[in-house]
Amino acid sequence: MLTQDRPQVRYVTAGAGDDGQRIDNFLLKQLPGVPKSHVYQLVRSGQVRVNGGRVKAERKLASGDEVRIPPVRAADKAQIARPPDAVLNVLRAAIVHEDEHYLAIAKPAGLAAHAGSGVPYGVIEAVRAWNKYEFIELVHRLDRDTSGVLLLAKSRPALLRGQKALKNSEAEKRYFALLLGKWRGEDRDVDAALVKRSLPGDRRVQVDEEDGKPSKSRFSPQSRYRDATLCEVQIFTGRTHQIRVHALALGHPVAGDTKYGEREDNKPLRELGLKRMFLHSHFLKFNAEGEFGKLIVNAPLPDELRAVLDKLPRADKARR
């Protein structure tokens, strides 16, 4: 449903919380319900102006900039999905760290980090619906089916500090992943470039040393079972589906992964109660920098994953 009121040109002054934000991201917040493709078309056509001049989508705002926002018919606010109260309460209970700069949530599996195509809301929309924070943004993302530490920033400087640390491999991120098959030896590094491929009705990530982006993961076995291995995985880059594709490249896909794994291989684990992908972000660390102190966040392995491990037959130690 669309609003019937005729939209008008708006002039919005960027505040201190907008300092350093890209104009495209600023517009997406100012125009809820407007498709991203239309927002970018408005910028490309010159209808969006900053201080009277045309800009590109990557232009960063400074506090005090005047932004011209053209007339746009947005979806009626009443029709924009509000996360259910049950979701808001689940996320309140999932807070694992909060300080003046950051909020960290142990994201449940099955909940997206943000809204998108076919996804009416995610963690960021739910947290904003608390109406508690003047500024709140995702520092990074997790796959919808991955659980664990998801960090949100409570100021633009905190956001930029976190994004910089992740981009420059200055942060430490560790996951627990149950991998199918018997693991031979100890730690194994995977240094394989990854690229996104769009297939009919599907989008996947593949190893491609020629066209892919550099990607590195370290797999360290923690517990060995008869037909699976629990590994801690440290990622040195943050590519889409990185752990899942690197695990597949090792010949040990992540348990419960319906995109990169084989359904038949996962059947024994489904019979033991595994109803999701066994991938959990359990540790995040930022070193101290400037006004920001050292940040360490932990998220325990969820009960539903621990229950699966308790049922798995252990490997014969003599045959390791």
Q: Which residues are catalytic?
A: 143
DSSP strands (E only) in the chain: 10-13, 49-50, 53-54, 66-69, 95-98, 102-107, 137-138, 147-153, 171-180, 188-191, 194-199, 202-207, 216-224, 228-235, 279-286, 295-298
CA distance 298 to 246: 23
Tokens of 294: 């050292």
Could you tell me if 175 and 282 are in contact, meaning their C-beta atoms sit under 8 angstroms apart?
yes
CA distance 42 to 38: 6
Q: What are phi and psi of 153, to 5 degrees?
A: -100, 145
Could you tell me if 135 and 155 are in contact, meaning their C-beta atoms sit under 8 angstroms apart?
yes
What is the number of other CB atoms lying within 10 angstroms of the CB of residue 14?
A: 21
CA distance 64 to 6: 28
Q: What are phi and psi of 105, to 5 degrees?
A: -120, 140
CA distance 310 to 62: 54
What spatial distance separates the first Cα and last Cα of the chain, rounded to whole Å? Answer: 62
